[in-house]
Amino acid sequence: MKRTLSLPGLAYGGDYNPEQWPEEVWAEDVRLMAEAGVNMVSVNIFSWALLEPAEGAYDFSRLDRILDMLYTHGIAADLATPTAAPPAWFFRAHPEALPVDRDGRRLSYGSRQTFCPSSPAYRAAALRIAGELGRRYADHPAVVMWHVHNEYGCHNAECHCDTSAEAFRRWLRTRYADDLAALNDAWGTTFWSQWYYDWDEIIPPRATGAVPNPTHQLDWRRFCSDELLSLCTAERDVLREAAPSTPATTNFMVMYNFDALDYWRWAPELDVVSNDHYLRSTDPESEIDIALSGDLVRSLAGGPWLLMEHSTGAVNWQHVNRAKGPGELRRNALAHVARGADGIAFFQWRAAKAGAEQWHSAMLPHAGTDSVIWRDVVQLGADLRALAEVRGSRGVAEVAVVWDWNAKWALELPSQPSEEVRQLDLVRSWYEPLWRAGIAVDFVRPGADLSAYRLVLAPSLYLVDDAGAENLTGFTERGGTLVVGFHSGAVDENCHVRLGGYPGAFREALGVRTDELFPLLPGETVGLEGGGTGSLWSERVRPTGAQVVSSYTDGPLTGVPALTRHGYGTGTAWYVATLPDPDTLTALLDRIRTEAGVTPVRVTPEGVEAALRRGRDADYLFLIDHRGKGAEVPVAADAVELLTGRPLTDGSVTVPPGGVAVVREPRSVLP
Ligand code: GLA
């Protein structure tokens, strides 16, 4: 049973670290929080050293005062366990709890999240302080949620020490039911004399002379994700024991190529799914990254979720840290709400003057309240209050995109046909035309229930197990439209190539057979019949029932099919054997979705994002202008624009240049 976060409207706030400031400053904090409409803050995230000055000696007096103050001022606390930053005394007592990298270097303390996930001393110390905290604050009226740890795996997803090696072996014994022959078979250890005769011979994939075994590396990634998950659930359980009805969350990071954790396994373990999202300064269309991230998190949560962190302006950890342009803070935040966030929070409340993040933006900047960021923060608070009724409403999508961390890990191991092929890049390439067209999208794992969808896209699914492959092809057989990208279905869950021709698991459903892969060099393109080009990949596809939609017009594969379409059962399966240029991919996906009967949330001018949340009694249409030109967009009769409170009587809404409109419409508008 999932416990829910009970707040009257949408949550608004950020990480609040008052322990970094003299107490005189706190009064100003709560006064300004009220001015901005902040109703929930995450506290205590990195304060272990202050709470436990010496092993077993606790001092909760400051945290008592912080929580009491928040409660007095009507601000709820998302109370974190401080376990992402163990104190120096802990490492002096337990130097073996410091992590070791793959080159055998033991790291030092002095920053944060530098501990071995398998260390018994770390686990015991973390559970001890989590238990103390849980028991002390179980009934504190300010505490509405537990924030377990912080961004698991952010800096220490892997530890290669001997303790981790032992834990890895234990995990493997469970996975392979104590059968070493099964492991040898799964890992293909007859290759390069890697056969193991004793479990104790197995070590993490540490730095070695040549390429390590792929399945060894894949199982290691699975183990590392599970090992951190077991820390998370252990902390969650001690908190739950103390406060059985308080929901627990931990903040995920599903984007910017952070891929250490298999969040499909994590999400069901948490009452509330939260995510952190930051813009990459080099991404010219970060609004698409926000939408993709939000759709993925909503899908993991199976409903509303919380944006636990993003930034009001520049971060401090990129090569050049870009500030946000006019209106961007508001567009960014409301875009997360559009994708299902029931709360918006920032890292952090008050900009630090000291420490490693002193140049990171915050809700209250170094400049104080006479600043653009502060005015935007206050405006956003008002916006979120105006949107209170969208809380609990959900996404509705007819299109699913298959996303799988195992497939990503396996695809991105060394010694592939091309190291240029990256799962997130491919998913983003396919997602972009859908985003531009206002098509709502969910993300699914290969074995998910697909009955709600008309169209399923698998841009990059290198690894798939038999059950997942059958689920996807079965969807087509029963009338759905499936689109498969190149190099999908290539290997099984043990990274073994599916023999007999590519794309192994999908050959029959796609009605094609490939006998050789021809990856393209960076910058190289091949012509496509109909005028476009393909890049990144090509392969010698032979139709075995599929109809050829487009073939290569030059290069060694001239005349060979690049895009195919196959009637399979009562459905249709498409194969995309290259990465078509954006216009060609857009035209292709437009055609496919039109044939599949998928309609946009709303047709809007270029650059105006449309997303929809469906409530019990109404639909909420979010329109966000990212091009600064503004737009008039048709809406239903009896609609209301919620940010202004204005009834829309003439059948359309004005989206101001660079602005946002959120329209409540009767539910009947969409099928
Ligand atoms: C992460 C962390 C925060 C902070 C921000 C800075 O998301 O969780 O503590 O370091 O990055 O962007």
DSSP H helical ranges for 449-494:
466-477
Pairing of strands 561-568, 571-576: antiparallel
Task: Tell me, yes or no, whether 293 lies in a domain.
Answer: yes
Task: Tell me, yes or no, whether 443 lies in a domain.
Answer: yes
Task: Tell me, yes or no, whether 601 lies in a domain.
Answer: no
Task: Tell me, yes or no, whether 449 lies in a domain.
Answer: yes
pLDDT of residue 671: 44
Task: Tell me, yes or no, whether 5 lies in a domain.
Answer: no
What distance in angstroms lies between residue 344's CA and the mean position of ligand 1's atoms? 15
Atom of ligand 1 nearest to the CA of 253: 7
Residue 17 pLDDT greater than 60, yes or no: yes
What distance in angstroms lies between residue 347's CA and the mean position of ligand 1's atoms? 6
Cα gap 281→485, rounded to integer Å: 28
Query: Cα 85 from chain centroid?
Result: 23
Cα gap 487→416, rounded to integer Å: 10
Which whole number is the average pLDDT over 210-219? 97
**Largest Cα span, the chain:** 77
CATH number at residue 665: 2.60.40.1180
Task: Tell me, yes or no, whether 100 lies in a domain.
Answer: no
241 is in which domain, residue-wise? 11-91+119-156+231-389
Which residue matches tokens 């005028």? 531
Same domain, 385 and 403: no
Which of 81, 324, 347, 361 to mutate for ligand 1's pocket (most ligand atoms within 8 Å of CB)? 347
- CB contact set of 133 (below 8 Å; sequence gap of 6+): 44, 51, 60, 79, 81, 82, 239
Residues 415-433: tens digit of each pLDDT: 999 999 999 999 999 999 9
Q: Which of the four pLDDT bands, split at 50, 70 and 90, describes residue 256?
A: confident
Which residue matches tokens 């091309």? 418
Atom of ligand 1 nearest to the CA of 45: 9
Which whole number is the average pLDDT over 595-608? 97
Type and span of the H or E element at 78: strand 76-80
Cα gap 497→491, rounded to integer Å: 4
User: Which residue, by CA, sits nearest to atom 2 of ligand 1?
Assistant: 151
Same domain, 638 and 542: no
User: Which residue, by CA, sits nearest to atom 9 of ligand 1?
Assistant: 347
What distance in angstroms lies between residue 226's CA and the mean position of ligand 1's atoms? 22
pLDDT of residue 668: 67
What distance in angstroms lies between residue 539's CA and the mean position of ligand 1's atoms? 42
User: Which residue, by CA, sits nearest to atom 3 of ligand 1?
Assistant: 347
Same domain, 519 and 640: no
Which of 309, 317, 318, 332 to mutate for ligand 1's pocket (most ligand atoms within 8 Å of CB)? 309
Same domain, 278 and 315: yes
What distance in angstroms lies between residue 15's CA and the mean position of ligand 1's atoms? 9
User: Which residue, by CA, sits nearest to atom 5 of ligand 1?
Assistant: 347
Same domain, 148 and 249: yes
Residues with CB under 6 A from ligand 1: 150-151, 276, 278, 309, 315, 347, 357, 360
Task: Tell me, yes or no, whether 383 lies in a domain.
Answer: yes
Atom of ligand 1 nearest to the CA of 150: 8
Residues 447-485: tens digit of each pLDDT: 999 999 999 999 999 999 999 999 999 999 999 999 999
CA atoms within 13 A on the CB side of 310: 35
Which of 41, 357, 358 to mutate for ligand 1's pocket (most ligand atoms within 8 Å of CB)? 357
Cα gap 525→336, rounded to integer Å: 36
User: Which residue, by CA, sits nearest to atom 4 of ligand 1?
Assistant: 347
Task: Tell me, yes or no, whether 35 lies in a domain.
Answer: yes
What distance in angstroms lies between residue 213's CA and the mean position of ligand 1's atoms? 34
Could you tell me the two tokens for 270? 């948490």
Q: Which of the four pLDDT bands, split at 50, 70 and 90, describes residue 505?
A: very high
Residues 81-97: tens digit of each pLDDT: 999 999 999 999 999 99
User: Which residue, by CA, sits nearest to atom 12 of ligand 1?
Assistant: 315
Atom of ligand 1 nearest to the CA of 315: 12
- Exposure of 415 by Cβ count < 10 A (0-12 exposed, 13-18 middle, 19+ buried)? exposed
- What DSSP state is assigned to residue 81? P
What distance in angstroms lies between residue 147's CA and the mean position of ligand 1's atoms? 14
Residues 352-362: tens digit of each pLDDT: 999 999 999 99
Strands (DSSP E) along 274-337, which ranges? 274-276, 305-309
Which whole number is the average pLDDT over 150-173? 97
pLDDT of residue 159: 98
Strands (DSSP E) along 302-377, which ranges? 305-309, 341-346
Mean confidence (pLDDT) of the chain:
97
Type and span of the H or E element at 230: helix 214-242
Residue 160 pLDDT greater than 80, yes or no: yes
What distance in angstroms lies between residue 320's CA and the mean position of ligand 1's atoms? 17
Give the chain's domain count: 3
Same domain, 297 and 415: no
- Exposure of 136 by Cβ count < 10 A (0-12 exposed, 13-18 middle, 19+ buried)? middle
Same domain, 423 and 364: no
Strand partners, 568: 571
Residues 35-48: tens digit of each pLDDT: 999 999 999 999 99
Strand partners, 632: 654
Residue 583 pLDDT greater than 90, yes or no: yes
Cis peptide upstream of residue 503 (ω within 30 degrees of 0): yes
Cβ distance 443 to 296 under 8 Å?
yes
User: Which residue, by CA, sits nearest to atom 7 of ligand 1?
Assistant: 276
CATH number at residue 317: 3.20.20.80
CATH number at residue 514: 3.40.50.880
Same domain, 454 and 316: no
Final residue belonging to a domain, choices 553, 568, 596 = 596
Final residue belonging to a domain, choices 553, 572, 596 = 596
Residue 669 pLDDT greater than 70, yes or no: no
Which of 112, 147, 149, 151 to mutate for ligand 1's pocket (most ligand atoms within 8 Å of CB)? 151
First to last CA, the chain: 31
Atom of ligand 1 nearest to the CA of 311: 12
Atom of ligand 1 nearest to the CA of 278: 12
Count of CB atoms situated within 10 Å of the CB of 284: 8
Atom of ligand 1 nearest to the CA of 251: 8
Final residue belonging to a domain, choices 548, 573, 596 = 596
Please tell me whether residue 548 adopts helix, strand or coil conformation. Answer: strand
Going 57 to 62 to 63 to 68, the CA torsion angle's sign is positive
Same domain, 557 and 592: yes
Query: Cα 221 from chain centroid?
Result: 17
Cis peptide upstream of residue 348 (ω within 30 degrees of 0): yes
Residue 266 pLDDT greater than 90, yes or no: yes
Same domain, 318 and 458: no
Same domain, 636 and 538: no
Catalytically annotated residues = 151, 309
Cα gap 222→417, rounded to integer Å: 23
Cβ distance 642 to 664 under 8 Å?
yes
Please tell me whether residue 248 adopts helix, strand or coil conformation. Answer: strand
What distance in angstroms lies between residue 41's CA and the mean position of ligand 1's atoms? 15
- What is the C-alpha radius of gyration for the chain, rounded to an integer number of angstroms? 26
Same domain, 378 and 409: no
Which of 276, 348, 363 to mutate for ligand 1's pocket (most ligand atoms within 8 Å of CB)? 276
Which whole number is the average pLDDT over 528-543? 97
Which residue matches tokens 């080159």? 103
What distance in angstroms lies between residue 84's CA and the mean position of ligand 1's atoms? 11
pTM: 0.98
